[in-house]
Amino acid sequence: MLELLQSLFGDNFFIPHGHCYLWKPGLVWLHIASDSLIALAYYSIPITLVYFVQKRQDFPFKWILLLFGGFIISCGTTHVMEVWTLWHPTYWLSGFLKFITASISVYTAIALVPLIPQALALPSPAQLEVANRQLSAEIIERKIAEEALLQAKAELEQRVEERTFELRQATLQSIATAATAQEQATKLEFTLRELQQTQAQLVQSEKMFSLGQMVAGVAHEINNPVGFIYSNLTYANEYALDLLELVQLYQKYYPQPPADIQSTIEAIELDFIEKDLPQIFASMKIGAERINQIVLSLRNFSRLDEANIKQVDIHEGIDSTLLLLQYRLKPRPAHSAIHIIKEYGNLPKVQCYVGQLNQVFMNVLTNAIDAIDELHKLRTSKKTAFLDKDARRSLEDIQDNPSTICIHTEVADSMNVIIRIADNGCGMTEEIKSKIFDPFFTTKPVGSGTGLGMSISYQIIEKHNGHLKFISAPLQGTEFIIQIPIHINSD
């Protein structure tokens, strides 16, 4: 945007228009005077048109006059630019204004064509005069009849007005009071809803900002010692192998060591060390690489304070979120493992608020895991007598239908990307579905949830000019559908 503005208002090393006139004063002032007078004349015409439109509210084609006014103002502005470019060679800006003028003029010409038959169909002054005379005659006849009728009803109406005046005043006062109360109630409800949303945003933003700072700090502090360990593991492994090779050479050339050395060899189990030490270094390298992956995911997820729009790979954000939730996906004593099915499409990089979108993925995936855990509790609890045999989960059922979360991404109509996150958890009832995006609504026990996750997620997706929808049924799982544009409009 800055480069575009610089190209529009910059001179780009062009030569001012005055050089074409060789800076001859007479010729320069001739163009200045003529262009200035033309611009003043052009600017005065729209003022007259606006005055005419204000005075003649009954004119049927007011918009075409305003369109003419816009076209004339654009023409006047091009003459002003002619004077400006005598000294300032901003020809890109001058050309852009001419392009706007051309667009308005073409649109005006096109819009004027269908108006000609309508304008020709308007009645002439003579026809209007004849119609007015006929209407005047009819009005006179009706007035005579109305006066006779009004005279007959005058006394009755007077009596009715006197008797109903007090009742009417009371009714009007009651209506006004009811309307005022309704308006105040509406305003109060709107203010309360807005306050709840603002409070939810503030609480969640502060919470996620603090979490982002903490995660970023932890990732930074872990990265330094892990990097030191990882970078030195190769050297330590090489040194250990060199030492083991040296020991093997000693054993080759001195097969009968002294008794003290032989006893030490047996005590430390040198043969086992020779086999196990390389495996230990290999395990340490794998562990260090694993820590590096976790630190990278923490860094990626902790970009919660990034307020600028950036082009990112959506799949990286999803994978980082899954890595942070890995501990909940593994099998636990009371729960089976949750399998992740990735059906990633060929997505381009998407412009978005990175940290906020990662927050949406975290909220949706966390709710999916909670729904699967809740279904497992329902099917294993002794209190689920209301569930039929098919609803209870056996070991064979777990093996045949494991807990899964399917993540599907695709490009829709080349303008948007769609992320579908579906689980085979407990699903939602109609009552829960109607309140799922309400602030502070939660189905979790007190202390386990704030009720802000889905509300904040919905607002984040709306901020991206996208849509957050879901499909769910009890005991049938839930699918959240996130649709966001590839190129977001930051305005």
Among the three residues 94, 120, 146, which one is the final residue of a domain in this structure?
120
Res 68: pLDDT: 80
CATH code of residue 443: 3.30.565.10
Instruction: Give per-residue burial for 47-78: e unless 16+ CB within 10 Å, then b.
Output: eebeeebeeeeeeeebebbebbbbbbbbbbbb
In this prediction, residue 197 carries a pLDDT of: 64
**Per-residue pLDDT tens over the stretch 155-167:** 777 877 877 877 8
Average pLDDT over residues 374-389: 61
Sequence-separated (6 or more) residues with CB below 8 Å from residue 331: 337
Domain assignment present for residue 384? The answer is: yes
| Comparison of pLDDT for 313 and 226, the residue scoring more | 313
38-47, 111-120, 322-331: the lowest-pLDDT one: 111-120
Q: Domain for residue 83, yes or no?
A: yes
Q: Which two tokens stand for residue 231?
A: 């970078």
Reported confidence tier of residue 374, pLDDT bands at 50, 70, 90: confident
Domain that holds residue 14: 2-120
Which of 95, 120, 145 corresponds to the end of one domain? 120
- Rounded mean pLDDT of 338-353? 92
Q: In what order do the strands lie in the sheet with 403-412?
A: 338-343, 403-412, 416-423, 478-485, 467-472
Q: Lowest-confidence range among 18-32, 232-246, 300-314?
A: 300-314
CB 400 within 8 A of CB 336: no
Assign 3-state DSSP to the chain and report helix, strand, coil percentages, each to 5: 70, 10, 25
Let me know if residue 252 belongs to a domain.
no
What percentage of the chain exceeds 70 in pLDDT?
Answer: 80
In a domain, 421, yes or no: yes
Residue 153 lies in a domain: no
One-character DSSP codes across 156-193:
HHHHHHHHHHHHHHHHHHHHHHHHHHHHHHHHHHHHHH
Q: Count Cα neighbours of 387 within 13 Å in the Cβ-side half-sphere.
A: 18
Tell me the C-alpha distance between 408 and 199, whole Å. 33
d(CA 309, CA 465) in angstroms, rounded, equals 13
Amino acid at 478: T
The pLDDT confidence band at residue 75, using thresholds 50, 70 and 90, is: confident
Whole-number pLDDT of residue 304:
47
- Mean pLDDT computed over 380-401: 51
> 43 pLDDT band (50/70/90 cuts)?
confident
Say if 189 falls within a structural domain: no
**What's the full length of the chain, in residues?**
491
455 and 436 Cβ atoms separated by less than 8 Å: no
* pLDDT in the model for residue 110: 83
What is the per-residue pLDDT across 272-315, written as a single tens digit (0 to 9) for each? 888 888 888 777 777 776 676 666 656 555 554 455 688 889 99
**pLDDT in the model for residue 297:** 57
Predicted structure pTM score: 0.45
pLDDT at 12 over 90: no
Give the total number of structural domains in the chain: 2
Among 77, 95, 120, which residue terminates a domain?
120
Predicted pLDDT at 391? 45
Residue 249 in domain: no
Is 258 part of any domain? no
Per-residue pLDDT band for 3 (boundaries 50, 70, 90) equals low
Higher pLDDT, 71 or 357: 357
